[in-house]
A = this chain, B = another copy of it.
Amino acid sequence: MIRRAMRAGVPLGLLAALALPALALAKGDGDSLGAYDKGALVETTLINTLWVLVAAVLVLFMQAGFAMLEIGFSRQKNAGSGVAKILTNLSIAALAYWSVGFALAFGVDDSVSGLFGTDGFFLQDYEDAVPSEALAEAGVVNGDPRAAFPVMGLSDASIEAKWLFQFAFCAVSLAIVWGTTLERIKYMAYVAYAVVFSAIIYPVGSHWVFGGGWLQESVGMQDFAGSTAVHLIGATGALAALLLLGPRKNKFGPDRKARAIPGHSMPLVGLGTIILFIGWFGFNAGSTFNVEDLRFAEVAVVTLLGGAGGVIGAFVATTVFQKTIDIGMVANGMIGGLVAITAPSGYVESWSAPIIGLVAGVIVVAGVLAIEKRLDDPVGALSAHGLAGVWGTLSCGIFTSPRLAQYNAFGEESGGLWYSGSFAQLGHQALGVVVVFTFVLVLSLATFALIKATIGLRVEDEAEDAGLDIVEHGMYGYPEQFIPLPEIGAASHGPAAPGGFGNGAAAPEPAGSHAMSAKGATA
């Protein structure tokens, strides 16, 4: 009964959330258009906005990457659920980040000591924003969105493009969370956590790291595009979920040893990985928010080299540790390399990138092998996004180049350990990692505990056996693998093709019985 009530209640909650936008309708959008009418747009605004928008689209495409990766690592009986999941979460996050999240992540935070932003809900209530001195010198006036979102005010790209880009980051972080929960979590638990995550947890955590918050401004933590702010936050949410959810049935045998539960499609895993790789060029290179200084192309090269290093590191590690070339490990090696290079991509010279990636690749393989002894993480997200995210963040403390630290104006001017001989930057990085991990873990554990106590977190045993597709969705992701053929439109399968058949002639025999043998079954 409670479950049914929740099932009805959550949609109602969503509808309520949707009513919120109506509150904001008094004001028009039109900021950019107004500036255009006044002839106030400067030329770099156009090209910077174009780049940020294109980069945002690349990052949004990563949703397809996560979907294919997670579906590929699931068994067939749970493959369809991932489709509905990714679309629902993306949509919830869009509304939550638009109405609330972005303001918390990038709004002016002076009144709350840098803890979170307090302006810019619905991309609208920033007419009172006063620019900082530096921005005022650059011509930013009161009420300009650049005044309202100070960190991103350094780029003159339009606020809508920047919002889309930052939303895409939020959606990536959220997608990472589900990796550990495959094949057993309740659909409605997804929905509920997605609201909290994209409205509060991710915005506040990322604000501290790269939204102008205290870790960035006061501690001097460096995280160019989000090894911590996006990947570690997602992986920490994933860990919290896993701790309360437990492993899939039969993952651990009576001897407590882990058994492999292979995903159903490596081709989909491969497709997902390459899509993520492509998206990363928007992710890291777009984090420059402008093209004016041409750094975006340098960041793109560094990103490629990091990803390449990750593959080679994982390839070597899987060959050595597993005596075979594990396909999932190679794919996770690329992801780990890219995750690791994300924080340093705007801080290091290109020679460091393959090294950072290589180490990440080894860490990912070793991490998966170590973690799976205790925890059931079907996709390896804890390792590829979590451990590699930590390593990538720390690697700034080693490899950050003085000229780039100074250019970005965050952290030690003397650069990382390699250049400065000092552990100072490494210390800032480590502090940032610990703080963010703790913050996200505590809030996520609390959220999931609440969900567990109300909606429930895990499907029942029999449902797990049957698969989420049939239980949550009333259908199969691959119906022809599960439903006896006569039920899928009678006689739906063709006969095996004998020699001369196939140039348009009709099927020579009733198809029903052939269909069976065509599936490889004999009586």
Contact = CB atoms under 8 A, between A and B. Distances in A.
A473 interface: yes
Interface residues of A, number: 187
Interface string A460-477: 111101110111111111
Interface in A293-335: 293-298, 300-301, 304-305, 307-312, 315-316, 319-320, 322-328, 330-331, 333-334
Contacts of A7: 319
A298 B32 contact: yes
A519 B515 CA distance: 12
A195 to B, nearest CB: 11
Nearest to A462: B506
B47 A471 contact: no
A274 B494 contact: no
11 contacts: A41-B292, A46-B292, A53-B285, A71-B267, A79-B267, A84-B327, A91-B334, A250-B492, A326-B473, A463-B504, A471-B502
The 6 A-B pairs at the shortest CB distance, nearest first, are namely: A83-B270, A474-B502, A462-B506, A521-B521, A519-B520, A80-B266
Contacts of A294: 32-33, 35-36, 41, 45-46, 49, 158, 160
Contact of A484 (B53, B87, B403, B496): B496
A98 interface: yes
Nearest to A167: B304
Given A47-B50, A266-B469, A327-B469, 9 more contacts: A43-B43, A79-B266, A84-B315, A91-B309, A92-B312, A161-B297, A322-B474, A327-B475, A484-B520
Contacts of A477: 265-267, 327
Contacts of A521: 516, 519-522
A453 interface: no
Contact of A164 (B22, B301, B473): B301
Nearest to A467: B494
B492 A326 contact: no
